[in-house]
Structure 1
Amino acid sequence: MTTASFTIARGLGPLPRLLEAERGATAVARVFRAEDLPIELAEEQNRKLPLRSLMALIERGAREVGDDLFGIALGSAMRPEDFGPFVKYMLAAGDVRSLLARSIRAIAYHQSGTAFSIKMSDDLVWWGYRVIEPIGIGRRHHTDHILKPMLNGLRRYLGASWVPSRIEVEYARPRRWRDLETAFGAPVFFNMPSNAVVFEASLLGRAAIRPIQVSQVVTLSDLRQLVDERPPRNQVEAVREVIRLRLLDSDVALDGAARVLGVGPRTLQRQLAQENHTYRDLVEQTRMERARALLRESAEPVTAIALSLGYSEIASFSRAFQRCTGFAPSRYRCRSGP
């Protein structure tokens, strides 16, 4: 069974803000709605979401704005560490060689279905990034928004004015390819096997120009403790994550979840059946997980909690909650205490 690749929504960076500045708040809502994603995701960027959804939002955002360099603009507006703990771990590397090695080790803590790579010749290094899973949607602007922070990460070691020997990309040469070269500050080679920043091998030993403070260092042990941030490793985990995501919109319909995962509803049901699960059961389990947390840790009224979980009436929620826990919601809250 194929498991959908997942990533952390912070990879969107300032996309909602850029869209709103160019086309207004309605454009942001339109782009998210077109991908069956809740607009609340724009403010909840620690959430996991399918990689194909993140890529689609970026590509659709580029079309909405009509900017052939949208991915570059998005990547330029992001500091490398904006991608989260896995990049902070990378930037704690002592030199360029270690930075590249850490990227290969750490990417799994941020997203699945992708890989960093290192290739070397006598005098050149290719630091590559590619999407392994055949996702079947455009990926040009997503590629650009990754390559720009990679370039800026290297400049932490090689200086703000440093430029690579060249940039290589998988996609075909676009209309404004000369502007792309200007934005990257280097020649761009198109239709290549992978996306890569190419630079001189003699730079691998360069140390960070301004090392980060010890208090800000993220170690591999720190990353391992963030196991809850790791992308889902099977389709049941993937479906649970999509249900959690869509609960932001109080919408747990099967059809929408299947679209987000890039499969048909019947295919999704069949995949879950192979793992002895049903979509309805996963919805109920995920709802109850969220309900227990809200009852323990918030003062939200029970009615508001029920509606937020997609129940049309409080009686249905109360029955489901009592069936799951043995307690009525109000009684559970009293037992949990402050």
Structure 2
Amino acid sequence: MGMGMEPRISAAAACGVGGVIGQCGGDAERVFGAARLRLSALENPSIRLNLNHYCHLFEVAARQTGADDFGLRFGFQYQVEQMGPLGALVLASPTLGAALHNLCAHFPALQEHSALRLRAGGGLMALEYQITDGRITHRRQDAELSIAIFTGIFRRCIGPSWAPTEVQFEHLRAADALAVEAAFNAPVYYAAGRNAILFPAAVLTMRMPGANTPRLPGLEATLRRLAADTVPEDFRGQVLSLIRSGFASGEANIDHVAARLGLSRTGLYRRLALEGADFSELTQSIRRELAESYAAQPGIAFTDLALLLGYSELSAFSRAFTRWTGLSPARYRQACQKLHA
């Protein structure tokens, strides 16, 4: 993860994952160990886990069980009540719109260095989710499980057959894309620059079935206390996140990143120098980490990966990848498949 304070997530967010690993034929203790977490930690949902390790947990679970859609399976089994005070606040809200606004407002109490926003645009509403710490590279399973959990909130209010207008993911299309569309019963788009559920604004007025407005002030006070103990955003992580999101759009250069942070080019250089970091080195490190992560996943086209990382031609990406790893992308994928077989 590099320097800086590492973001955390409430252990409540992993409630029940051991059982899902077992259902998929995996060894929960082994998966947790590989992610540098303890299965026993989930016995106390009030403690906070390292967010990077949490994300890695679901990537390891998918590999070990062979369930490429592991995060999605977990997300659709997860119950809102398992979120603790935040889940209780969502369910006690008077309408779906209020529930989503409360979820977004108090999400930092559950998960740090992450953004959850409700936005209008193009005639639809979008519930957008993204980890904002660019040091966390492996996040596909987390994105899918999170969007599945949020979809569950809509279905608790509207009914189990509810389907969004469309779903978007920031990661590339993987081998199980048809299973993902079937789970959401909606079109799913990849490399979208965000993770989001798109839906008609009219549903926001629907009543939550467990509305209990007298409980809201007490739950909000509890969540404000929890949020007060959160780790502040890390500058290096913010820079890496902007570089990562800017590859495909051509906005990963220092001028664009500095502008997004409200700094001059010189100011950004100075801030990074104080942390012993260099912009060019950060750019290459996140590009390489993403390349290795995606190249290891079967079903992802190398042409899509090259475009995501800002290469106009597959040949240029292949040369860079071979320089980094000593293997072509295809041979690297084969080696990873053998290792995890």
Judge same fold: TM > 0.5, yes or no.
yes
Structure 1 segment 185-224 matched on structure 2, within 5 A: 185-212=185-212, 219-224=219-224
Residue 12 of structure 2: SS of its match in structure 1? helix
Aligned residue type for 2:131: V
The answer as to whether partners of 2:35 and 2:54 remain within 8 angstroms in 1 is no
Contact between 2:106 and 2:227, CA under 8 Å: does it hold in 1?
A: no
- Counterparts of 1:95 and 1:234 in 2: how far apart (Å)? 31
2:78 matched residue in structure 1: 78
TM-score (norm 2): 0.62
AA aligned opposite 2:174: P
| Contact 2:168–2:194, Cα closer than 8 Å, also in 1 | yes
Mapped contact 2:97–2:204 kept (Cα < 8 A): yes
Alignment check: 8 A CA contact 2:10 2:46 kept:
yes
Cα 1:71–1:104 shift into 2, 3 Å: same
1:169 aligns with 169
**Other-structure match for 2:127:** 127
Taking the aligned partners of 1:22 and 1:202, their CA distance within structure 2 comes to 38
- CA distance in 1 between partners of 2:124 and 2:9 (Å): 30
**Counterpart code for 1:18:** V
In the alignment, is residue 143 of structure 1 matched against residue 150 of structure 2?
no
Higher mean C-alpha displacement, 190-199 vs 130-139: 130-139
Cα separation, 1, equivalents of 2:224 and 2:196: 27
Residue 90 of structure 2 corresponds to residue 108 of structure 1: no
Name the CA distance, whole Å, in 2 between partners of 1:102 and 1:52: 25
Q: Which residue of 2 aligns with 1:231?
A: 230
Name the residue aligned to 2:49.
49
Match of 1:66 in 2: 66
Q: Secondary structure at the match of 1:204?
A: helix
Q: 1:93 to 1:57 in 2, by over 3 A?
A: same
Question: Offset at 1:35?
Answer: 2.6
> Does the aligned pair in 1 maintain the 2:109–2:223 contact within 8 Å?
yes
For residue 19 of structure 1, the aligned residue among 17, 21, 32 is: 21
- Residue 233 (structure 1) shift: 4.1
Residues 46-68 of structure 1 show CA distances to partners (whole Å, capped at 9, x for unaligned) of 32111101101111111110101
Give the paired residue count: 234
Contact 1:159-1:209 within 8 A present in 2 as well: no
Q: CA contact under 8 A between 1:89 and 1:220: conserved in structure 2?
A: yes
Structure-2 change in CA distance of 1:162 and 1:227 (3 Å):
closer
Higher relative contact order (CA 8 A, sep 6+): 1
Q: Secondary structure at the match of 2:206?
A: coil
RMSD over aligned Cα atoms:
2.5
Counterpart CA distance in 2 for 1:16 and 1:176 is: 22
What is the one-letter code of the residue matched to 1:8?
S
For 2:179 and 2:233, locate their aligned partners in 1 and report how far apart those are by CA, in whole Å: 41
> What SS class does the counterpart of residue 117 from structure 1 fall into?
strand
- Higher deviation after alignment, 198-207 or 216-225: 216-225
Equivalent residues of 2:92, 2:211 under 8 A apart: yes
Match of 1:89 in 2: 89
Shift of 1:218: 5.4
Pick the structure with greater CA Rg.
1
Amino acid at match of 2:12: R
- Aligned mates of 2:72, 2:217 — CA distance in 1: 28
Partner amino acid, structure 2, of 1:5: P
Distance 1:186 1:48 in 2: 34
Contact 1:88 1:218 (8 Å CA) reproduced: no
TM-score, normalised relative to structure 1: 0.63
Q: Mean Cα displacement is larger for which, 160-169 or 132-141?
A: 132-141
Alignment-derived partner of residue 9 in structure 1: 11
The separation in 2 between residues aligned to 1:188 and 1:87, in whole angstroms, is 26
Look up the match of 1:247. none
Aligned residue type for 1:149: I
Q: Distance in 1 between matches of 2:174 and 2:188?
A: 11
Question: Is this contact kept in 1: 2:125–2:199, CA < 8 A?
Answer: yes
1:200-279 pair list within 5 angstroms? 200-212=200-212, 219-226=219-226, 230-233=229-232
Q: Is the 8 A contact 1:92 1:217 kept in 2?
A: no
Hey, what's the Cα distance between the residues in 2 that align with 1:207 and 1:234? 35
Distance in 2 of aligned mates of 1:64 and 1:212:
42
SS at match of 2:205: coil
* SS of the residue 2:197 aligns to: strand
CA distance in 2: counterparts of 1:42 and 1:193, whole angstroms: 32
Give me the identity figure in percent.
Answer: 23
Conserved in 2, the CA contact under 8 Å of 1:13 and 1:74? no
- Structure 1: distance between partners of 2:209 and 2:35: 42
Unaligned 5+ runs, structure 1: 236-270, 272-338
TM-aligned CA distance change 1:192 to 1:122, over 3 Å: closer
